[in-house]
């Protein structure tokens, strides 16, 4: 059975691109976003991959948005959901439906610096080493069990942008390795 991977992304999608450029990319069957202007959607189009947008502005409540997202996810029939720069909290209904099959990549060494500003928080705190984490998604924010991590030294003069770009180099490799192992296990 060939695995079916759905990637969720809100931004530039360079992690999505790393997956698409790897052997695991053949298993990526769809890309979903919460915003129509995510460059990740253009990457999907260029790769000839299905894409959907489920935007909160189109729903009356967070619960309705989650229901809409769950419907779009179910239509893809994914074996694995990869959150790669998806900047929305995935609701409990979706977690329950796909528990153990949703992973996320975070640009810090969880449990340190969870949340939307992990790179900045590590820099402001003054740690000397940060990094990235691939973990299972559970009902919390960046609290699911850790699958893999990579350490990245903070260098003098680092800005949030320079540090994040250096972390993403490691993040792309870590995510490709984890996804490759997970779908290899599913074959």
| Part of the chain binding ligand GRF (CB under 6 A), chosen from 60-68, 100-108, 148-156, 178-186 | 100-108
Please give the structure tokens belonging to residue 27: 């298993």
**Interface residues for ligand GRF in 78-97 (CB under 6 A)?**
84-85
- Output the smallest distance, CB 15 to ligand GRF, in A: 3
Fill in the per-residue mask, 11 to 50: x = in contact with ligand GRF (CB under 6 A), - = not in contact: xxxxxx----------------------------------
| Selection from 100, 139, 97, 133 nearest residue 114 by Cα | 133
- Output the smallest distance, CB 60 to ligand GRF, in A: 27
Catalytic, 135? Answer: no
- Output the smallest distance, CB 85 to ligand GRF, in A: 3
CA separation for the pair 107, 8 (Å, rounded)? 16
**Interface residues for ligand GRF in 102-161 (CB under 6 A)?**
105-107
Number of residues that bind ligand GRF (CB under 6 A): 14
CB 136 within 8 A of CB 100: yes
* CB-nearer residue toward ligand GRF: 2 or 145: 145
* CB-nearer residue toward ligand GRF: 56 or 186: 56
- Output the smallest distance, CB 41 to ligand GRF, in A: 11
**Is the peptide bond preceding residue 111 cis, with omega within 30 degrees of 0?**
yes
| Selection from 89, 32, 81 nearest residue 13 by Cα | 32
Q: Kindly give the residue spans of alpha helices, DSSP state H, lying in 22-159.
A: 39-46, 62-76, 92-97, 118-125
Angle among Cα 161, 163, 168 to the nearest 5 degrees reads 95
171 is a contact residue toward ligand GRF (CB under 6 A): yes
Please give the structure tokens belonging to residue 50: 């299905």
Angle among Cα 74, 116, 57 to the nearest 5 degrees reads 50
* CB-nearer residue toward ligand GRF: 67 or 89: 89
Point out which residues bind ligand GRF (CB under 6 A). Answer: 9, 11-16, 84-85, 105-107, 168, 171
The residues annotated as belonging to the active site are: 106
């Amino acid at each position: 059975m060939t695995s079916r991977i759905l990637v969720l992304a809100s931004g530039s999608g360079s992690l999505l691109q790393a997956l698409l450029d790897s052997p695991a990319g053949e298993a990526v069957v769809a890309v979903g976003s919460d915003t129509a202007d995510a460059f990740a959607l253009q990457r999907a189009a260029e790769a000839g991959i299905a894409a959907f947008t489920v935007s909160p502005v189109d729903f009356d409540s967070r619960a309705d948005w989650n229901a809409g997202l769950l419907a779009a996810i179910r239509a893809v029939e994914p074996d694995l959901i990869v959150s790669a720069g998806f900047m929305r909290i995935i609701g409990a209904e979706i977690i329950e439906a796909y528990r153990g099959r949703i992973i996320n990549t975070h640009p810090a060494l969880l449990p340190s610096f969870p949340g939307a500003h992990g790179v900045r928080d590590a820099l402001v705190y003054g740690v000397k080493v940060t990094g990235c984490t691939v973990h299972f998604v559970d009902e919390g924010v960046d609290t699911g069990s850790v699958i893999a991590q990579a350490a990245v030294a903070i260098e003098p003069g680092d800005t949030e942008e320079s540090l994040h770009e250096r972390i993403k180099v490691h993040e792309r490799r870590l995510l490709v390795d984890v996804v490759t192992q997970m779908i290899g296990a599913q074959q």
